[in-house]
């Protein structure tokens, strides 16, 4: 307390009707609030002010004796009582500002009667009261006043009692403790023990505190004030037996307030409260411990069994042993193991680390099963209380993901393929990206056909045969499996990333790029070469029938492809099929019987059907020329014609294809070598068209790269040559050109 240096001053003034009022004026360094929850001592009352003032002045104990407290606060508005009490107790402390004020104010303190219930110490004689008691002569007004005073005293004594106890408790508090620690502060004071310890030692400092209990009886108890640590201990005798108290959600203070108990009971109640809490915590911990102990026991037993079973495996069993004796101080749990003489410490995670051998112990299963049973026994149809009805959760049948998944599954020859996405669709087919065994990705082509239509059945069979024939070729999409069943054909193929038509579409607005055209033309011709070299005419080449597989262009769809008989160039069709934009004129123009004589295999007497179309390898070159044309100009040669007109234009030799030297609206110049290649591919006469080998060797696909140095050298040589020889024949120029080209070859540029 000495650290709270207060200079307090109490003045007792009279109000209008002559009743003296106590005014507190506190001057201290820190401003303490009235709220109990504030840190530090509570705001001082007149009693506190006096107390502190005295303590400071005398340098002795900061506390008044119990009697002083009681009498000061018993009737704070009764100057008579105060004056008597204070005066009598402060005879040897004249410096006290409070007492000085009392004296100086010179109030007529004897003008008012004393309370009948006012308690005095033995030295305090109230003559007037004694006389009245002795004579028993009370006037009616005196009786009334006495009754009033009695009631007032009754109330005041309750108030006083609380104030005293609160003050004592708060003085016991460490000033640094905040509200959250208040309970523990109280808890830490074991009132009975403190009292027992202090009564003997501190008698010299103990005064008699007389307080009035709620029941109205006067009880005298002994607060213990310790001079050394200024701890105050409250009376140890509880008013009631609180051992069976039920706190519910209340804390001791709330309980006290709710039941309107005196604050002197707080320590007793607190003690019971904390004892009960301790017991509760202990029980909860025990419950937790015993359940985890059960589980651990089960696990331990299992480990032991497991260890015995695997005794042949030395390394593992040793490992288990080592782990069992390992002690992890932080995570270990003491386990009683019935089969072992001593308690053993086993880490909680220990059993989980035994490895794949660990099976779940039977007991654990039974625990889980019991839980499941218990859950299943909960009736969902149980009648619910009214308030819950509105919130009723409807239990819905789960969506059958199984069925949904089955829709995505296709079985081809007992192998399941899961559909991922659609890659494209053709005239009669759909092609999907699917996931097969080992999560490998395939293209699944699903064709619906009329199983009674012999032509189509044969057509599909032909496609399968051709794909099988070309199976090992690097430029043809690989056929893994197929299944033909009840009008459905499934082909499981190598999956491409995208087809050439998609690539061209994405580049439709891009500027002319000779390198791009060169690269894809070469890729395309490589594919066609493979097919042609195998004696097959594809006869339906178009950008959509080339797919990029891992960066390489590959050819697909041999639906109308035909194997060309050996030693022949063309095949003859009785149907006009293909994609008009890319169809060669000969595939559209009906052949005459005489035209067919060219083939050595054909019997000249053979009767051919009326409409026959000749399709051969050059037809594929024409298609290839159309794709090349589309890459340069953005669309195939006859795309400007619509419908039937397109076919007529293709067939009509008078409808010439235009090869503009400039493209992109005149911005880019088409290399001559490229122009030349297109022209060679789109010659009407199939016999005059270039072959795949010629295309592969053409200047456009094999450009010559020269350096500046090479050109300078060339010019210099030409000038020198011209100076010597004015006339140069064509043969000489040819010779010189070949010489230059051969040198370029040497340079290998």
Ligand X SMILES: Nc1ncnc2c1ncn2[C@@H]1O[C@H](COP(=O)(O)OP(=O)(O)OP(=O)(O)O)[C@@H](O)[C@H]1O
- Mark the segment that binds ligand X (CB under 6 A) among 113-121, 130-138, 285-293, 423-431: 423-431
Among 78, 153, 499, 540, the active-site one is 540
Phi, psi angle pair for 77, to nearest 5° = -100, 0
Residue among 22, 110, 428, 602 that touches ligand X (CB under 6 A): 428
Say whether residue 543 binds ligand X (CB under 6 A).
Answer: no
Task: Using DSSP, state whether 447 is helix, strand or coil.
Answer: strand
Looking at beta carbons only, is 64 or 553 nearer to ligand X?
553
What lies within 8 Å, CB to CB, of 86 at 6+ separation is 50, 68, 71, 72, 98, 99, 102
- Mark the segment that binds ligand X (CB under 6 A) among 54-62, 117-125, 158-166, 419-427: 419-427
Task: Using DSSP, state whether 302 is helix, strand or coil.
Answer: helix
Say whether residue 341 binds ligand X (CB under 6 A).
Answer: no
Residue 241 designated active-site: no
- Mark the segment that binds ligand X (CB under 6 A) among 555-563, 629-637, 645-653, 658-666: 555-563
Smallest distance, Å, CB 458 to ligand X? 15
Q: Which residue number is nearest to ligand X in terms of Cβ?
A: 426
Residue among 557, 570, 581, 629 that touches ligand X (CB under 6 A): 557
Looking from the CA of 468 toward its CB, the CA atoms found within 13 Å total 9
| Rg of the chain, C-alpha, whole Å | 57
Q: What number of other Cβ atoms are within 10 A of residue 28's Cβ?
A: 16
Residue 319 known to bind ligand: no
Q: Which residue, among 161, 156, 154, 162, has the nearest Cα to 253 in the 3D structure? A: 162
Site track for ligand X across 441-480, x = CB under 6 A? --x-x-------------------------------x---
Say whether residue 551 binds ligand X (CB under 6 A).
Answer: no
- Mark the segment that binds ligand X (CB under 6 A) among 88-96, 424-432, 564-572, 700-708: 424-432
Q: How far is residue 691 CA from its own chain's centroid?
A: 62
Euclidean distance between CA atoms 327 and 108, whole angstroms: 82
Looking at beta carbons only, is 540 or 586 nearer to ligand X?
540
* First-to-last C-alpha distance (Å) of the chain: 103
Say whether residue 556 binds ligand X (CB under 6 A).
Answer: yes
The angle, 0 to 180 degrees and rounded to 10, between the axes of the packed helices 514-533 and 672-681 is 30
What lies within 8 Å, CB to CB, of 128 at 6+ separation is 110, 113, 114
Looking at beta carbons only, is 41 or 559 nearer to ligand X?
559
Euclidean distance between CA atoms 77 and 36, whole angstroms: 24
- Mark the segment that binds ligand X (CB under 6 A) among 530-538, 556-564, 705-713, 720-728: 556-564
Length of the chain: 749
Sites for ligand X among residues 214-243 (CB under 6 A): none
Separation in Å, CA 294 to CA 297, 335, 530: 5, 9, 75
Looking at beta carbons only, is 263 or 545 nearer to ligand X?
545
Task: Using DSSP, state whether 667 is helix, strand or coil.
Answer: coil
Residue among 49, 172, 300, 545 that touches ligand X (CB under 6 A): 545
Smallest distance, Å, CB 430 to ligand X? 8
Task: Using DSSP, state whether 424 is helix, strand or coil.
Answer: strand
Q: How far is residue 592 CA from its own chain's centroid?
A: 75
Residue among 467, 476, 547, 632 that touches ligand X (CB under 6 A): 547
Say whether residue 431 binds ligand X (CB under 6 A).
Answer: yes
Structure tokens at 40: 């530090």
Site track for ligand X across 486-515, x = CB under 6 A? -------xxxx--x----------------
Structure tokens at 494: 């190598």
Smallest distance, Å, CB 652 to ligand X? 26
Smallest distance, Å, CB 331 to ligand X? 57
What residues are annotated to the active site?
Answer: 540
Known binding-site positions? 445
Binding residues for ligand X, rule: CB under 6 A, are 423-429, 431, 443, 445, 477, 493-496, 499, 540, 544-545, 547, 556-557, 559
Known binding-site positions for ATP? 445
């Amino acid at each position: 307390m000495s650290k709270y240096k207060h200079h307090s001053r109490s003045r007792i003034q009279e109000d209008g009707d002559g009743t003296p009022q106590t005014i507190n004026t506190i001057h201290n360094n820190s401003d303490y609030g009235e709220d109990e929850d504030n840190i530090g001592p509570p705001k001082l009352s007149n009693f506190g002010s006096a107390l502190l003032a005295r303590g400071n002045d005398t340098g002795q104990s900061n506390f008044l004796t119990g009697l002083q407290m009681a009498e000061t606060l018993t009737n704070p508005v009764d100057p008579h009582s105060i004056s008597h009490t204070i005066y009598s107790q402060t005879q040897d402390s004249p410096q006290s500002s409070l007492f000085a004020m009392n004296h100086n104010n010179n109030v007529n303190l004897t003008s008012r009667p004393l309370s009948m219930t006012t308690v005095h110490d033995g030295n305090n004689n109230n003559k007037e009261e004694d006389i009245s008691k002795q004579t028993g002569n009370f006037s009616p007004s005196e009786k009334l006043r006495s009754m009033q005073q009695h009631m007032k005293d009754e109330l005041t004594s309750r108030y006083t009692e609380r104030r005293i106890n609160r003050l004592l408790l708060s003085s016991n508090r460490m000033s640094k403790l905040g509200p959250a620690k208040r309970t523990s502060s109280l808890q830490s004071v074991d009132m009975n023990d403190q009292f027992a310890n202090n009564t003997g030692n501190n008698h010299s400092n103990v005064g008699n505190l007389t307080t009035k209990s709620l029941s109205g009886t006067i009880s005298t108890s002994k607060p213990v004030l310790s001079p050394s640590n200024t701890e105050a201990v409250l009376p140890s005798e509880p008013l009631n037996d609180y051992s069976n108290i039920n706190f519910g959600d209340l804390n001791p203070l709330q309980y006290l307030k709710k039941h309107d108990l005196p604050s002197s009971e707080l320590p007793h109640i607190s003690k019971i409260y904390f004892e009960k809490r301790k017991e509760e915590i202990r029980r909860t911990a025990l419950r937790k411990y015993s359940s985890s102990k059960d589980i651990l026991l089960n696990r331990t037993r299992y480990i032991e069994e497991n260890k015995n079973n695997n005794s042949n495996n030395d390394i593992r069993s040793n490992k288990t042993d080592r782990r069992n004796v390992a002690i992890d101080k932080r995570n270990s749990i003491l386990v009683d193991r019935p089969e072992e003489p001593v308690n053993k410490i086993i880490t909680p995670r220990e059993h989980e680390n035994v490895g794949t051998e660990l099976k779940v112990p039977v007991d654990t299963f039974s625990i889980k099963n019991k839980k499941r049973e218990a859950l299943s026994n909960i009736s969902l149809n149980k009648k619910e209380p009214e308030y819950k009805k509105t919130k009723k959760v409807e239990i819905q049948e789960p969506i059958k993901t199984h069925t949904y998944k089955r829709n995505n599954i296709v079985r081809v020859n007992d192998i399941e393929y899961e559909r991922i996405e659609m890659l494209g669709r053709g005239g009669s087919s759909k092609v999907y990206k699917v996931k097969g065994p080992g999560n490998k990705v395939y293209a699944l082509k699903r064709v619906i056909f009329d199983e009674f239509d012999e032509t189509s059945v044969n057509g599909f069979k032909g496609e399968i045969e051709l794909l099988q024939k070309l199976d090992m070729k690097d430029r043809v999409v690989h056929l893994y499996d197929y299944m033909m069943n009840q009008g459905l054909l499934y082909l499981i193929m190598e999956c491409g990333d995208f087809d050439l038509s998609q690539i061209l579409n994405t580049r439709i607005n891009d500027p002319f790029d000779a390198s791009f055209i060169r690269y894809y033309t070469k890729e395309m011709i490589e594919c066609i070469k493979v097919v042609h070299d195998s004696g097959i005419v594809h006869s339906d080449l178009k950008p959509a029938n080339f797919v990029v597989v891992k960066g390489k262009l590959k050819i697909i769809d041999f639906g109308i492809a035909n194997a060309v008989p050996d030693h022949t160039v063309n095949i003859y069709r009785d149907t006009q099929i293909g994609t008009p934009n890319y169809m060669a004129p000969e595939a559209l123009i009906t052949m005459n019987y005489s035209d067919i004589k060219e083939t050595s295999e054909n019997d000249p007497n053979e009767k051919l059907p009326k409409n026959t179309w000749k399709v051969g390898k050059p037809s594929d070159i024409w298609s290839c020329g159309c794709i090349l044309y589309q890459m340069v100009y953005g669309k195939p040669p006859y795309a400007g014609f619509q419908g039937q007109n397109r076919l007529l234009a293709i067939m009509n030799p008078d409808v010439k294809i235009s090869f503009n030297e400039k493209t992109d609206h005149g911005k880019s110049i088409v290399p001559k070598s490229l122009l030349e290649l297109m022209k060679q591919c789109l010659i009407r006469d199939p016999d005059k068209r270039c072959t795949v080998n010629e295309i592969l060797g053409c200047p456009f696909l094999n450009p010559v790269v020269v350096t500046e140095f090479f050109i300078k050298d060339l010019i210099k040589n030409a000038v020198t040559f011209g100076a010597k020889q004015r006339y140069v024949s064509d043969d000489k120029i040819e010779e010189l050109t070949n010489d230059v080209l051969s040198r370029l070859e040497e340079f290998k540029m």
